[in-house]
């Protein structure tokens, strides 16, 4: 049985999910090489900073919409069958303000806030909220059952499942994508490279994608419990600021967000923005501060900043020959790397099998 080496560059949610999907093909020998691994917290590593929840935003007919549609049943299955993965169901409320229609956050959430959203028959318990259940500043609202992922549990879970299935993990920093095969047990021109480098696809030699840029997100992680997962399409504090609240599974605390600051590489939390995030969260969800209704009642675990790997035109999942070697690109998942993860990984799998063609004996 011929073995083909696959080297996945990147150990964020995209690289790890792809490693796990490919690991079921026993003719593939898979190595993951990455600068950052689960357990690290770094501004160049988006995955640990995500909330993370399932809030579909893909436009009709886009690859992203397909990835999100395909991902829900798998997150749902993991939630039901694998509690150790750190995902749980959350009742969610999505509030829309008409004045956010053209703001940065309003455009981001355009599909999410629709009362006839494309995912209304996909997620359980979708309903339109009556006016009496809306905050005074909002004109639209929906509710459905979503999930929230504790990234500190889920990323090591994906890594552990991959190791169990035979995947090898290595630390390494590549300056050019063509260095990837050197991390496989027997480098050859047949080695297939999967490029899951997220934001750093903008800087990696051989790729240098100018369409990739950071979408800065600042969060506050607190011990307080909100009782509901909620978001509003925008705020009056700035058109790149939004409010979202989600409680992570298995004691992971509650994420308060946030913002979407395009092209900002700033790694340090802005204390004024943190204050606004906490104030807006308590205003939207008084259950966070039941005794006083004040921000001082929030028990902060950490302030954080992550950079979403934005890409003009959406995520890039396609194959390309670079220096005679097949590369499957899989990056640019912006603010939807988790909610699109399984669909994206299955697309990468189809591309790998297409490259193998008659070579495949899988
Ligand atoms: P990353 O996690 O950044 O991983 C990239 C990997 O590539 C790392 O291992 C890195 O070390 C490696 N790498 C890069 N360059 C090199 C190199 N040259 N050599 C070696 N290794 C390299 N998504 C959701 O679905 N739901 C949410 O609720 C959500 N909330 C978010 C909130 C915030 C504040 C942020 C910042 C993001 C959020 N996201 C959310 C988006 C999600 O986090 C990202 O889309 C996802 O993490 C991207 O994963 P990735 O694997 O592509 O990139």
Which residue has its alpha carbon closest to ligand 1 atom 53? Answer: 198
pLDDT at 361 over 70: no
50 and 337 Cβ atoms separated by less than 8 Å: yes
Query: Is 335 annotated for ligand binding?
Result: yes
pLDDT of residue 280: 97
Q: Where are the domains of the chain?
A: 4-359
For residues 173-186, give the mean pLDDT.
Answer: 97
pLDDT at 327 over 70: yes
At 360, is the pLDDT very low, low, confident or very high (cuts 50, 70, 90)?
A: low
Ligand 1 pocket, mutate which of 13, 86, 177, 217 (most atoms under 8 A from CB): 13
Q: Is 342 left (phi over 0), alpha (psi -120 to 50) or beta?
A: alpha
Q: How far is the CA of 147 from the centre of ligand 1 (A)?
A: 19
Element of type H or E holding 256: strand 254-259
**CA angle (247 as vertex; 215, 114 as ends), nearest 5:** 60
225 and 287 Cβ atoms separated by less than 8 Å: yes
pLDDT of residue 173: 98
pLDDT of residue 359: 60
pLDDT of residue 180: 98
Q: How far is the CA of 96 from the centre of ligand 1 (A)?
A: 27
Q: Does ligand 1 have an atom closer than 6 angstroms to the CB of 315?
A: no
pLDDT of residue 7: 98
pLDDT of residue 1: 55
Which residues have CB under 8 Å from 121's CB, separation 6+? none
Strand 168-171 vs strand 28-34: parallel, antiparallel, or unpaired? parallel
Q: What's the whole-number average pLDDT of the chain?
A: 96
Which residues have CB under 8 Å from 45's CB, separation 6+? 12, 35, 36, 198
Q: Does ligand 1 have an atom closer than 6 angstroms to the CB of 308?
A: yes
**Bridge partners of residue 26, in order along the sequence:** none
Closest ligand 1 atom, residue 15 Cα: 51
Q: Does ligand 1 have an atom closer than 6 angstroms to the CB of 331?
A: yes
For residues 149-155, give the mean pLDDT.
Answer: 98
Q: pTM surpassing 0.95?
A: yes
Closest ligand 1 atom, residue 53 Cα: 28
Q: In whole angstroms, give the CA distance from residue 260 to residue 104.
A: 7
Per residue in 188-236, pLDDT (tens digit) is: 999 999 999 999 999 999 999 999 999 999 999 999 999 999 999 999 9
Percent of residues, the chain, with pLDDT higher than 90: 96
Reduced to 3 states (helix: H, G, I; strand: E, B; else coil), residue 39 is coil
CATH code for residues 4-359 = 3.30.9.10
Q: How many helices (H) and strands (E) would you count in the chain?
A: 6, 15
Which residue has its alpha carbon closest to ligand 1 atom 36? Answer: 306
Strands (E), 39-188: 87-96, 127-128, 140-149, 168-171
- The set of long-range contacts for 287-295, using a CB threshold of 8 Å and a minimum separation of 24, is 287/225, 287/226, 287/227, 287/228, 288/222, 288/224, 288/225, 288/226, 288/245, 288/254, 289/224
Q: Does ligand 1 have an atom closer than 6 angstroms to the CB of 306?
A: yes
Q: How far is the CA of 111 from the centre of ligand 1 (A)?
A: 22
Per residue in 266-324, pLDDT (tens digit) is: 999 999 999 999 999 999 999 999 999 999 999 999 999 999 999 999 999 999 999 99
pLDDT of residue 18: 98
Q: Does ligand 1 have an atom closer than 6 angstroms to the CB of 253?
A: no
Q: Does ligand 1 have an atom closer than 6 angstroms to the CB of 51?
A: yes
Which residue has its alpha carbon closest to ligand 1 atom 47? Answer: 47
Q: Does ligand 1 have an atom closer than 6 angstroms to the CB of 35?
A: yes
Query: Is 197 annotated for ligand binding?
Result: yes
Which residue has its alpha carbon closest to ligand 1 atom 51? Answer: 12
pLDDT of residue 268: 98
Which residue has its alpha carbon closest to ligand 1 atom 28? Answer: 52
Which residue has its alpha carbon closest to ligand 1 atom 46? Answer: 337
Name the residue among 304, 204, 206 with its Cα closest to residue 252. Answer: 304
Strand 28-34 vs strand 4-9: parallel, antiparallel, or unpaired? parallel
Q: How far is the CA of 161 from the centre of ligand 1 (A)?
A: 19
Q: How far is the CA of 339 from the centre of ligand 1 (A)?
A: 12
Per residue in 230-271, pLDDT (tens digit) is: 999 999 999 999 999 999 999 999 999 999 999 999 999 999
């Amino acid at each position: 049985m011929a073995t083909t080496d696959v080297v996945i560059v990147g150990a964020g949610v995209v690289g790890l999910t792809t490693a796990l999907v490919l690991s079921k093909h026993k003719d593939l020998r898979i190595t993951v090489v990455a600068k950052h691994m689960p357990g690290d917290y770094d501004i160049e590593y988006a995955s640990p900073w995500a909330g993370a929840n399932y809030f579909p935003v893909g436009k009709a007919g886009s690859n992203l919409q397909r990835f999100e549609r395909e991902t829900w049943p798998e997150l749902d299955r993991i939630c039901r069958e694998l509690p150790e993965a750190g995902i749980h169901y959350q009742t969610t409320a999505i509030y829309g303000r008409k004045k956010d229609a053209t703001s940065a956050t309003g455009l981001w959430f355009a599909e999410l806030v629709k009362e006839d959203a494309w995912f209304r028959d996909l997620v359980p318990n979708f309903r339109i909220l009556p006016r009496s259940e809306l905050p005074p500043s909002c004109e639209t609202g929906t509710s459905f059952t979503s999930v929230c992922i504790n990234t500190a549990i889920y990323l090591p879970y994906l890594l552990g499942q991959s190791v169990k299935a035979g995947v090898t993990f290595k630390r390494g920093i590549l300056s050019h994508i063509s260095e990837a095969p050197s991390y496989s047990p027997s480098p050859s021109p047949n080695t297939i490279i999967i490029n899951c480098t997220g934001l750093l696809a903008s800087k990696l030699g051989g790729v240098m994608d100018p369409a990739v840029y950071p979408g800065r997100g600042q969060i506050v992680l607190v011990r307080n419990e909100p009782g509901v997962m909620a978001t509003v399409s925008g705020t009056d504090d700035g058109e790149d600021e939004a409010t979202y609240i989600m409680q992570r599974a298995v004691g992971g605390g509650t994420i308060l967000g946030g913002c979407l600051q395009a092209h900002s590489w700033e790694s340090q939390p802005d204390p004024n923005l943190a204050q606004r995030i906490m104030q807006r969260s308590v205003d939207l969800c008084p259950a966070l501060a039941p005794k006083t209704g004040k921000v001082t009642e929030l028990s902060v675990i950490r302030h954080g900043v992550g950079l979403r790997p934005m890409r003009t035109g959406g995520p890039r999942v396609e194959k390309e020959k670079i220096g005679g070697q097949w590369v499957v690109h899989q990056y640019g998942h912006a603010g939807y790397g988790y909610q699109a993860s399984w669909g994206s990984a299955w697309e990468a799998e189809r591309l790998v099998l297409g490259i193998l063609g008659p070579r495949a004996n899988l």
